[in-house]
Chain A
Amino acid sequence: MRHILYRLKDRYHLGTPVFQRDDLCFVTVKRFELRAILTELRDVEGFTHLTLLTAVDWIEEQQFQLTYMVNNRVANLTLALRVMLDREDATGDTIHDLWPTAATYQRELREMFGITFPGSPRVDEEFILEGWTDLPPYRRDFDTLAYSQQTYNDRPGRVTHDPKTHMQKTLYADYPKGAK
């Protein structure tokens, strides 16, 4: 894994690599170099499989992080590339011509995070949700609890017990031990 990163580092801007395991590494790349790196990984380094493409909403930094995880089955290596996008105009670059499966991931990201990928096939069609008119539900400024309370009726009588006080009341007065 490290020698692949050394080879890439000469020509591209790579962030500090984070090794979760010896065969699993996360590295941040620049957006305009992403396509070149992915193509090189696929065609030269043998990372033939796109394991996943997903997003993280960093609302405090006003950014979306896209994670492209690619896998080299022969050498059993997994490399994940992170790309930061501006949250305001969330537009990514489509890679459906590198891996056709990416089109499905991009449709999902379009619906759940509102990140568009211009040029990706059927990206503006509904994917899972039907008739959704609110904020994309995986964005962190979307409050699922508030939404569900405003949309679906509650049945009265539902109570929540705090486990700690419940344990103290019913089983052990000095729970957790030595609390009293």
Chain B
Amino acid sequence: MKDVDDKFLKNPDTEVPLREELRPRKVTTPDGQEIDIDPLRDYFCEAKPKVHPKAYSKIVEDFYNWARANSLWILGFGTGCGAIEMRPLMTPRFDAYRYGIQWRPTPRQANLLVISGYLSVKTLKRAIRAYEQMPQPKYVMGLGSCTINGGMYWDSYNTIKRLDDYLPVDMYVAGCMPRPEALLHGFMELKRVIKEGKGEGANLYAENFDQYKANQKAVIRDWDMPDYNW
């Protein structure tokens, strides 16, 4: 292990037991019927995400991409200090709404997930759930050096270092923290990328779904949700 001069070795991976209420079990209904319930499967669709096919002709796809680029709806989900930078962006001083960028309260209405800073393992779980609930086409933006290489949390026991191991990132904005101007520039760059047809993060996620899941489960030890939260 480089940089580490002692012999500390982390515990080998031991199973974390599933919470009581999430285990499959038999339940007697009020009218006396015995049913099997499996809380992690009963309420969720098991189908994996699919690759979104391109339109039949280039000009139509370009039109779609132009339309997608001009309606970036951000999920109002703040992790870390970058959530503070969102407020001046929304409000009249920087006013991101003039570019067709707006914030939505639920993942079902959003198509851009901004990971605004460091992501602890606990928050990563919620971020994955939020990302998977967003409808395609969807994009992820990583804000600040924490999402790029760990930033100042490079030696933290509870903070991930590379966001693109766990979620497909379309655009990074460097800085610690990036100012709202940098964020606006990042949005413009993301628009350019989408218009060029390179904003393929969601398809990348669908293609490498098993790899992403393996990475996610390696750090989220108590995996108490279905594999795909759509």
Give residues in A with beta carbon < 8 Å to B: 128-135, 137, 141-155, 157-158
Determine whether the beta carbon of A150 is less than 8 Å from that of B1.
yes
List B residues 1-35 near A (Cβ within 8 Å): 1-4, 6, 8-11, 13-14, 16
B90 contacts the other chain (CB 8 A): no
Q: Which A residue's beta carbon lies closest to that of B14?
A: A133
Q: Which B residue's beta carbon lies closest to that of A152?
A: B161
Within the assembled complex, what's the spacing in Å between the Cα atoms of A15 and B219?
45
Determine whether the beta carbon of A150 is less than 8 Å from that of B158.
no
Within the assembled complex, what's the spacing in Å between the Cα atoms of A135 and B8?
11
Q: Which B residue's beta carbon lies closest to that of A138?
A: B157
Within the assembled complex, what's the spacing in Å between the Cα atoms of A79 and B89?
46
Q: Which A residue's beta carbon lies closest to that of B220?
A: A131
Stretch in B95-103, B147-155, B195-203 touching the partner = B147-155
A144 in complex: contacting residue of B2, B156, B162, B220, CB < 8 Å: B156
Within the assembled complex, what's the spacing in Å between the Cα atoms of A141 and B150?
23
The answer to whether A158 and B154 touch (CB under 8 A), given A146-B6, A147-B8, A153-B165, is yes
What's the nearest-Cβ distance from chain B to residue A19, in Å? 36
Q: Of residues A131, A143, A145, which shows the largest number of chain B Cβ atoms within 10 Å of its Cβ? A: A131
A146 in complex: contacting residue of B9, B121, B161, CB < 8 Å: B9
Closest 9 CB pairs of A and B: A131-B222, A131-B221, A143-B8, A155-B149, A145-B155, A131-B16, A146-B8, A144-B157, A152-B161
Apart from A132-B221, A146-B10, list 4 A-B contacts with CB within 8 A: A146-B1, A146-B4, A149-B2, A154-B150
Within the assembled complex, what's the spacing in Å between the Cα atoms of A147 and B122?
17
Determine whether the beta carbon of B156 is less than 8 Å from that of A148.
yes
The answer to whether A145 and B3 touch (CB under 8 A), given A130-B121, A153-B161, is yes
A155 in complex: contacting residue of B13, B122, B159, B161, CB < 8 Å: B161
Give the contact-size bracket for chain B: 20 to 34
Interface string of B182-218 (1 = CB under 8 A from A): 0000000000000000000000000000000000001
Residues of A near B162 (CB, < 8 A) are 152-155
Determine whether the beta carbon of A130 is less than 8 Å from that of B221.
yes
Within the assembled complex, what's the spacing in Å between the Cα atoms of A141 and B11?
13
Within the assembled complex, what's the spacing in Å between the Cα atoms of A145 and B8?
9
Determine whether the beta carbon of A147 is less than 8 Å from that of B157.
yes
Within the assembled complex, what's the spacing in Å between the Cα atoms of A151 and B158?
9
23 pairs of residues in contact across A and B, judged by CB atoms under 8 Å: A128-B122, A129-B122, A130-B221, A130-B222, A131-B222, A132-B221, A133-B221, A142-B8, A143-B8, A144-B156, A146-B1, A146-B8, A148-B150, A148-B156, A149-B4, A150-B1, A151-B218, A152-B162, A153-B162, A154-B149, A154-B150, A155-B161, A158-B149
B69 contacts the other chain (CB 8 A): no
What's the nearest-Cβ distance from chain B to residue A84, in Å? 25
Q: Of residues B8, B9, B122, B165, which shows the largest number of chain A Cβ atoms within 10 Å of its Cβ? A: B8
Within the assembled complex, what's the spacing in Å between the Cα atoms of A135 and B2?
21
Q: Which A residue's beta carbon lies closest to that of B16?
A: A131
Q: Of residues A137, A142, A150, A152, which shows the largest number of chain B Cβ atoms within 10 Å of its Cβ? A: A152
B134 contacts the other chain (CB 8 A): no
What's the nearest-Cβ distance from chain A to residue B193, in Å? 20
Interface string of B36-78 (1 = CB under 8 A from A): 0000000000000000000000000000000000000000000
A154 in complex: contacting residue of B122, B161, B221, CB < 8 Å: B161
The answer to whether A130 and B9 touch (CB under 8 A), given A137-B158, A153-B165, A155-B162, is no
